[in-house]
Chains A and B, each alone.
Chain A
Amino acid sequence: MTNEQKQTLMRERAAALMKDGAVSYVIGWRETRFPGKTAIFFVRDEKDADMLVWDEYTIPLTAKYLTENRWPDKKIGIFARGCDSKAINRLISDNQVERENLYIIGLPCEGKKDDRCLSCTQRDPLIYDELLWEPENATGTSETDLQRARFFRAEEVESLPTDARFAHWEDVYARCIRCYACRNVCPVCTCRECYVDMHRTGFQGKHHDAAENRVFGVTRAFHVGDRCIECGECERVCPMGLPILGQTQKIIKTIEGLAGTYEAGMDPEADSFLGKFDLDDKDTFM
């Protein structure tokens, strides 16, 4: 099936849902005035459904936009690929959205023109009310099919000696402009009030230097690290193009070392790693 056919299916389905009044809106993608860039689009009217697109550039994650409306009157329709469905699972287990409030239209993905899709392990949606088309390979993408190692970004830095690692992050955070785009786009970053915005508590210094940026970067990574679905949105939206995905990849890699295979967002019932404990946890503290 070609992208155009899939796009037609999406438009028809969104229009039908709006016509039935089954959902209050449908979250999808539309074109922007920049070639190769798509934006998130809310279909609020039946006739707007023709603006929906599906091509190799429909990259942004739809799931984050569910948190904008926590108590919808009617269901929210949402198009979800594998990565979106992992994010939806996380939002459900974090009690940020309720499953009953969602109408999820699953879209098996063929991989987009984005770096992160090279190490994608989950192209087919995990959670959906209907699938719009059949997955191309029924088995999904296995670990061995990856075009790039799962923790590629963390491994780039890990191989360096301690001082070089410090210098690497110093260089990264010296360029950070602290626009908080990485925070805003992250689908598991869902606090209603973020610690960096509480300027009177002093949790986050307002100095604009590499050290404060580093405090922000490491804190952000630690806040979301154990729930990170590895979608790579933080890196995609970074206006300075900083390789910040390494931080959360390192956290997941460490979790795997401590507690075995770990992938967030695979199950809407699963707790996050730091939200629970095991009496037999390893520790090297004496």
Chain B
Amino acid sequence: MAVDYEPKIIAFCCNWCTYTGADLAGLNRMKYPENVRVVRVPCSGRVNPQFILRAFRRGADGVMVCGCHPGDCHYSTGNYFTRRRFMLMRELLEFNGIDPRRFHARWISGSEAAKFRDTVTEVTQLIRSLGK
């Protein structure tokens, strides 16, 4: 493993909660690792499991899916579907030999800027330790 290895992490963030949370983190001048690439989606329910496969296929070292807390969805029920889908998806990725620590799903609300920062930092460190 090269000394200067930096992981590339794709984060799918829901427009109404996590993306706003990330924005708030920026407004508050919070520092978080630049390894994370945020992709804004209208709802975490928009995230097709195939997005994750494609991200891994194209060389991402880790993938995160972030959305509103259950009950807070802008579209009422989107994240309940997400919850089922990604509980299943994570098991399937593990079954396919992809380390489950490379895939994370988190609930981060629009006011939880610090949680966004902490989560991103923690995931980046974890994946950096896992290596390529």
Residues of A within 8 A of B (CB): 154, 157-158, 162-170, 195, 203, 205, 211-212, 214-215, 218-219, 221-222, 225-226, 246-247, 250-251, 254-255, 258, 273-274, 277-279, 281-286
Contacts and interface: CB of A to CB of B under 8 A. Distances in A.
A235 to B, nearest CB: 16
Interface in B76-111: 77, 80-81, 83-89, 91-92, 94-99, 104-107
A277 B83 contact: yes
Pick the most buried of B89, B96, B105: most chain A CB atoms within 10 A of its CB: B96
B88 A221 contact: no
B57 interface: yes
B87 A205 contact: no
Nearest to A165: B97
Contacts of A277: 77, 80-81, 83-84
B96 A218 contact: yes
Given A225-B88, A274-B88, A281-B84, A215 B53 contact: yes
Given A215-B53, A222-B89, A286-B107, A274 B95 contact: no
27 contacts: A157-B95, A158-B95, A162-B94, A162-B99, A165-B94, A166-B97, A166-B98, A168-B97, A169-B96, A169-B97, A195-B50, A215-B57, A219-B49, A219-B50, A222-B92, A247-B92, A247-B96, A254-B87, A255-B88, A273-B84, A273-B88, A279-B80, A281-B83, A284-B87, A285-B86, A285-B106, A285-B107
Nearest to B90: A284
Contacts of A247: 92, 95-96
B29 interface: no
A158 B84 CA distance: 21
Interface string B21-43: 00000000000000000000000
B111 to A, nearest CB: 16
A222 B49 contact: yes
A27 B14 CA distance: 48
Interface string B50-80: 1001100100000000000010000001001
Pick the most buried of B50, B81, B85, B94: most chain A CB atoms within 10 A of its CB: B50
List 9 tightest A-B contacts by C-beta distance, closest first: A166-B97, A165-B97, A277-B80, A254-B91, A285-B105, A250-B95, A283-B83, A215-B53, A222-B49
Contacts of A278: 80
B28 to A, nearest CB: 21
A176 to B, nearest CB: 14
A214 B83 CA distance: 24
Contact of B84 (A165, A274, A284): A274
Given A247-B95, A286-B107, A258 B87 contact: yes
B97 A167 contact: yes
Contacts of B95: 154, 157-158, 165, 246-247, 250
Contact of A163 (B57, B80, B97, B107): B97
